[in-house]
Amino acid sequence: MAAEQTLKVQKIENGTVIDHIAGGKGWEVVKLLGLEDYPGTVTLLSNVHSKSLGKKDIIKIENKQLSKKEVNKVALVSSQASVNLIKDFSVKEKFNVELPGEIVGILKCTNPVCVTHFEPCESRFAVEARNPLVLRCTYCERIQTKLEFK
Amino acid sequence: MDFISTRSMSKDLIEDILKEAKKYEPKKDFSSVLKGKVLATLFFEPSTRTQFSFQSAMERLGGNVLGFSTIEGTSVKKGETLTDTIKMISSYVDCIVIRHPQEGSAKLAAEVSPVPVINAGDGSHDHPTQTLLDLYTIKDSFKSLDGLNVGICGDLRYGRTGRPLSVGLSNWDVKLHYISPPQLSMDKGTIKFLRDKKIEVREVLKIEDAIKELDVLYMTRIQRERFPTEEEYLKFKGVYVVDKRIMDMAPEKMIVMHPLPRVDEIVTEVDSDPRAQYFNQAKNGVPVRMSVLNKAITEK
């Protein structure tokens, strides 16, 4: 393959790389992790060719080491994503995202009369099943038919 | 101990409460049980049976009751959040009973309250003490809940009693017959929950389609306030009526229940039928709530 046809994205010196995000879902991940307001450099590659997934998205966040807890939220939109924590251009730690047992403060309950829409409290959902994903609101106990991000 | 949702009550806990409630049924003197304790009844929505029976239960146990039955004149009317109201009132009392239109409000109240919270109805979500007194009434009639065919009729989607009763009954080997129009049918999530617990569920449109099999016919009110227009409501009003004709078709030992108030679901001629248990059911609210209050206040 000619050099000009290859994907050229600089390695980052320090930061976090989220790889194997389902194709096109990278925009949701940016929003989910609140990266829209991050003052450093964020690179989003969308619909990149992937041997295993067909298409995938990649996000590179410079000079920010995301914690496992933060990055595990990504599993809500792309359960097969993997994370590389980079230091001095080398992979310091690598792990796959894992959905926590409880989702706090990220989603809105789809029940319009749930108390979480009216009171100063964080939304909370218990993860009842992972594949397919089944979430139940901790307050009104309604099963969520779709995911609505805050 | 909080009483927030029927789903979170174990079979052991339910049996324990029903057993203790039996102890309170004779009108003996129990005034030393919760002597010196104070209960707050916070009714953000109107109630007759639930509020009065909680009040009666607390007073029969020797405790005192304070509270409100409308938000008029309270700080809620001035815009105070539920969270702040609960934080404040919980510092005055030993237990809180709450009815509130928002679903999950009792759970939130329990999170911010250092004293136990009892859910007396949060929107269409749950009403666990109603379920307990319903189970008590059924058990009182049949001795065991296992093997019973229970028909639940009317507004199963928006009513706050049919769903938790189903969840409560799912701790036993029962068969459920849902009688409702498709627009007011039981939600799919609850039916899946029941079937996952190996509970047989049958859905029919008419009382006549199930009546001959039933041990219990649990009627509910079609609620006017749930319909967008009066015209829509009128389509369903009076669809389900238990009258002498229906009772003649019913098994001899079947009981008729209703959480009350009724509108036109059960005609008054049925009241004198020994199978009519709805007033007895309302009466059972007191011993069952005595049992709940004692457990809530004295156990962690």
Amino acid in the structure at residue B71: I
- Enter the pTM of the model: 0.90
Per-residue pLDDT band for A4 (boundaries 50, 70, 90) equals: low
Please, are residues A102 and A125 in contact by the beta-carbon 8 Å criterion?
yes
| Segment B252-274, tens digit of pLDDT | 999 999 999 998 999 999 999 99
Q: What pLDDT score does A6 carry?
A: 59
CB contact under 8 A, A140 and B5: no
Q: CB B300: neighbour CB atoms within 10 A?
A: 4
Q: B6, B37, B85, B99: which one is catalytic?
A: B99
pLDDT beyond 60 at B9: yes
Per-residue pLDDT band for B78 (boundaries 50, 70, 90) equals: confident
Q: What pLDDT score does A7 carry?
A: 58
B208 in A contact zone (CB under 8 Å): no
Rounded distance between C-alpha atoms, residue B299 and residue A57, angstroms = 53
Q: What DSSP string runs through A38-101?
A: -SS-EEEEEEEEETTTEEEEEEEEET----HHHHGGGGGT-TT-EEEEEETTEEEEEEE----S
Q: What pLDDT score does A5 carry?
A: 58
Burial class for A124, CB neighbours closer than 10 Å (0-12, 13-18, 19+): buried
Please, are residues B88 and B98 in contact by the beta-carbon 8 Å criterion?
no
Rounded distance between C-alpha atoms, residue B224 and residue B204, angstroms = 22
pLDDT beyond 60 at A2: no
In angstroms, the Cα distances linking A142 to A18, A133, A137, B197, B227 are 32, 14, 5, 18, 21
Per-residue pLDDT band for B26 (boundaries 50, 70, 90) equals: confident
pLDDT beyond 60 at B30: yes
Q: What are the tokens at B166? A: 């189903």
Determine the residue of chain B that is closest to A128 in CA distance: B193
3-class DSSP state for residue A13? coil
Amino acid in the structure at residue A51: K
Q: What pLDDT score does B229 carry?
A: 83
Determine the residue of chain B that is closest to A117 in CA distance: B102
| Segment A61-101, tens digit of pLDDT | 999 999 888 888 899 989 899 999 999 999 999 999 999 89
Chain B residues whose beta carbon lies within 8 Å of the beta carbon of residue A138 = 104, 107
Determine the residue of chain A that is closest to B100 in CA distance: A115
What mean pLDDT is reported for chain B?
A: 95
3-class DSSP state for residue B128? helix
Q: What pLDDT score does B142 carry?
A: 97
| Segment B175-212, tens digit of pLDDT | 999 999 998 999 998 999 999 999 999 999 999 999 99
B87 in A contact zone (CB under 8 Å): no
pLDDT beyond 90 at A51: no
Check if B50 is active-site: yes
ipTM: 0.91
Chain A residues whose beta carbon lies within 8 Å of the beta carbon of residue B5 = 141
Q: What pLDDT score does A115 carry?
A: 98
Rounded distance between C-alpha atoms, residue A78 and residue A56, angstroms = 10
Per-residue pLDDT band for B234 (boundaries 50, 70, 90) equals: confident
A141 in B contact zone (CB under 8 Å): yes
Chain A residues whose beta carbon lies within 8 Å of the beta carbon of residue B124 = 113
